[in-house]
Every structure is written in structure tokens, then in C-alpha cells.
């Protein structure tokens, strides 16, 4: 990309995505320096969504590559469909003589070969084998690769904006990390969470929402939990509360439908024990730590 400021692609967030300051700076840094942007964070913090909105904000088309445990780095470049070719040669059909008909570019290959600059999302890179990121190093560095079967070289005309998400299930190799710009998405704070909830439940009573969030963040603060509830669980829980017609008063003294929030048996048991022992639940923000009372 040209270094002049006129043609400078600058991401500021879009109408549908509220990007925090650090995130905007990290995205712009990655776009300007043409480095991959690695986004890590708890599940349910909107990492994948970010890529679509970055593409929107920059006005670029987007390609996604969703990684599975069986994904191989080479699949992202191209796949040589040998079985199809074998099949065609035995039963007729297709131009078997030309091997190029059986070379299918993967998401990374397509992003390289495309005439305009793309946003390429490599989603959940930690799902793949430990060596997967290392196998991509050279291609991401040089933005070119060779199709071995045809000896043709695919060179990126425009370096794509590469966005990589990780759920932190595996550590990523150091050599890979060194090449990335890194951003960690924090879990949404109460103010942001209100906005997120408003998208799903627009007509929620504010006092009820307050109680809901106090209980939710209190639960998340409990260090004994094996799995902390995340955004999607909160949304489900609110749906359950609304269906059952739970009022604010009922919510003050206990936490109904705990199964919607805590998915581990031990966690639910622990809360049950806390309940039978007569443990109290917070009802005001001031009952929570200083983090929520600034």
C-alpha cells in the first residue's frame, strides 16, 4: 500500500460495531504495516464479527477461512483435486490433460490472486494443529507461493489485510507471534454490555437489566467457577427470565434458571451450596468490586 496519507485506509468502526480505542489503533497499525492482526479473547467477545466490520469500514471484500482441527496450511493456498481427476480419467468428462482444471485455490490463494485488496479472516486458528501457524509463515511474509503441480507462482497483487482470531485454546508459536500485530479483546464492561443487550432485547426494563447485570458480573467474579458465563449465556438467560415473567424483586434475592448461566455441574452445585448456606447476593453495584464503581 502506498504510504501517502491521502490514500490511507483508516478504520474507525462502523455503525453496527462499536470498536474501542485500542482496537482501532491495532487495526490501523496492521493495515498500514501490512502485518497480520491477531485478535485473541474469550469466546463471545465479537472477534469474528470484527473482521466483517473492518471489511465494511475499509470498503474491501472479505474472504473467510474457518479453521478446523483437520485443517492444513496448504489447504488455504490451493487443493489439487486428484480424486476428481482420477475419476474423470476413468469415466470421461473434464479436460484431464490440463492439470490446472483440478487446482482449486483456497481462501489465502484467492486473496492473493484477486485484483483488489481483500480482508482475509483466518478464524479460530487455535483449532488447528500446533504446527499450522508455522506452516503459513512464509506465505504470509512474502505473500506468494508456488503451485507445485503446474510450477506457476501465485503472487499477491495487493497484500490482503489478514485478520486472525484465536480463542486461546492453544498457544501459538513464537515465530508466528513475532510477525503479528496483537490485540486482546477484553470482556465487555457493564456499559458496553448494556448496548449489546439492547440489540437483543430492546425493550428491557432498565431496573431489571441492572439487577441482571449485577448478578451476572458477580458470578463472573467468583474465582471458583470452572466456566465463567459469557455474553451469549447472558442473552439466553435474559430470554428465559422474560419468558417466565421474572420481576426485579424476585431477582434480588436469588438467581433463577441458573442452568442458563452455569454449564458445569460442579459450578451449579457450588452455587446451590452457597444458596442453602444462606449466602447473600449483591443487589447494588456498590456491592461489587471497585472495578464496577468508577
Partner 1 sequence: MFLDLFYGLRDEGVPVALQEWMTFIEALREGLHGSSLLRFYHLARACLVKSETYYDSFDRVFARVFHGVEGQFDVTDEVLEWLRNAKDFPNLTPEQLAQLERLSADELMQRFLETLAKQTERHDGGDRWVGTGGRSPYGHGGQHPTGIRVGGSGGGRSAMKVAGERRFRDYRTDVALDARQMRVALRRLRQLTRTGLASELDLDETIDETCRNAGEIELVFRPPRRNDVRLLLLMDVGGTMDPYFEPMSQLLTALHEERGLRDFEPYYFHNCIYDHVYRRAHLTRADAVPTGDLLRRFDERWKLAIVGDAAMHPSELLEPHGGINPHNTSPTPGVAWLHRLAGHFDRAVWINPDDQPLWDQTYTARTIRRLFPMFHLSVDGLGAAVQALVGARV
Instruction: Give the footprint of partner 1 on this chain (CB under 8 A).
Output: 3, 21-22, 24-26, 28-30, 32-33, 35, 38, 40, 82-83, 86, 89-90, 130, 168-171, 174, 177-184, 186, 223-224, 226-227, 291
Give 131 or 249: the residue with its C-beta nearer to partner 1.
Answer: 131
Cα 17 versus chain centre, distance: 13
3 state DSSP class of 50: helix
Give 8 or 247: the residue with its C-beta nearer to partner 1.
Answer: 8
Burial of 165 (0-12, 13-18, 19+ CB in 10 A): buried
Shortest reach from residue 228's CB to partner 1, in Å: 9
H/E segment holding residue 212: helix 206-221
CA distance 214 to 132: 41
In contact, 107 and 120? CB cutoff 8 Å:
yes
H/E segment holding residue 25: helix 21-33
Give 14 or 239: the residue with its C-beta nearer to partner 1.
Answer: 14
Shortest reach from residue 130's CB to partner 1, in Å: 7
Name the residue among 225, 218, 211, 214 with its Cα closest to residue 268. 225
Shortest reach from residue 211's CB to partner 1, in Å: 25
Shortest reach from residue 244's CB to partner 1, in Å: 31
Give 130 or 244: the residue with its C-beta nearer to partner 1.
Answer: 130
Give 68 or 178: the residue with its C-beta nearer to partner 1.
Answer: 178
Give 89 or 293: the residue with its C-beta nearer to partner 1.
Answer: 89
**11, β-bridge pairs:** none
Sign of the CA dihedral 279, 282, 287, 289? positive
Shortest reach from residue 186's CB to partner 1, in Å: 7
- Per DSSP bridges, beta strands 37-41 and 161-166 are parallel
Shortest reach from residue 173's CB to partner 1, in Å: 11
Amino acid at each position: 500500500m502506498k504510504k501517502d496519507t491521502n490514500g490511507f485506509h483508516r478504520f474507525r468502526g462502523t455503525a453496527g460495531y462499536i470498536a474501542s480505542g485500542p482496537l482501532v489503533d491495532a487495526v490501523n497499525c496492521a493495515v498500514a504495516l501490512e502485518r497480520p492482526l491477531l485478535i485473541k479473547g474469550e469466546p463471545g467477545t465479537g472477534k469474528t464479527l470484527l473482521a466483517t466490520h473492518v471489511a465494511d469500514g475499509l470498503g474491501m471484500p472479505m474472504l473467510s477461512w474457518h479453521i478446523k482441527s483437520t485443517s492444513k496450511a496448504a489447504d488455504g493456498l490451493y487443493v489439487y483435486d486428484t480424486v476428481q481427476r482420477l475419476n474423470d480419467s476413468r469415466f470421461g468428462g473434464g479436460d484431464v490433460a490440463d492439470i490446472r482444471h483440478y487446482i482449486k485455490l483456497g481462501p489465502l490463494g484467492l486473496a492473493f490472486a484477486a485484483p483488489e485488496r481483500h480482508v482475509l479472516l483466518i478464524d479460530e486458528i487455535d483449532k488447528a494443529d500446533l504446527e499450522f501457524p508455522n506452516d503459513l509463515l512464509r506465505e504470509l511474509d512474502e505473500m506468494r507461493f508456488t503451485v507445485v503441480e503446474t510450477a506457476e507462482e501465485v503472487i499477491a497483487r495487493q497484500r490482503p489485510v489478514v485478520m486472525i482470531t484465536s480463542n486461546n485454546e492453544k498457544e501459538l508459536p513464537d515465530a508466528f507471534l513475532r510477525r503479528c500485530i496483537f490485540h486482546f479483546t477484553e470482556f465487555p464492561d457493564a456499559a458496553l454490555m448494556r448496548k449489546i443487550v439492547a440489540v437483543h432485547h430492546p425493550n428491557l426494563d432498565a431496573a431489571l437489566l441492572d439487577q441482571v447485570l449485577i448478578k451476572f458480573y458477580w458470578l463472573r467474579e467468583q474465582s471458583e467457577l470452572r466456566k465463567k458465563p459469557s455474553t451469549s449465556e447472558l442473552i439466553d438467560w435474559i430470554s428465559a427470565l422474560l419468558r417466565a415473567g421474572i420481576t426485579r424483586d424476585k431477582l434480588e434475592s436469588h438467581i433463577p434458571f441458573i442452568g442458563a448461566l452455569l454449564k458445569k455441574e460442579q459450578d451449579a452445585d457450588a452455587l446451590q451450596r452457597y444458596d442453602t448456606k444462606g449466602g447473600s447476593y449483591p443487589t447494588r453495584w456498590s456491592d461489587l468490586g471497585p472495578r464496577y464503581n468508577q
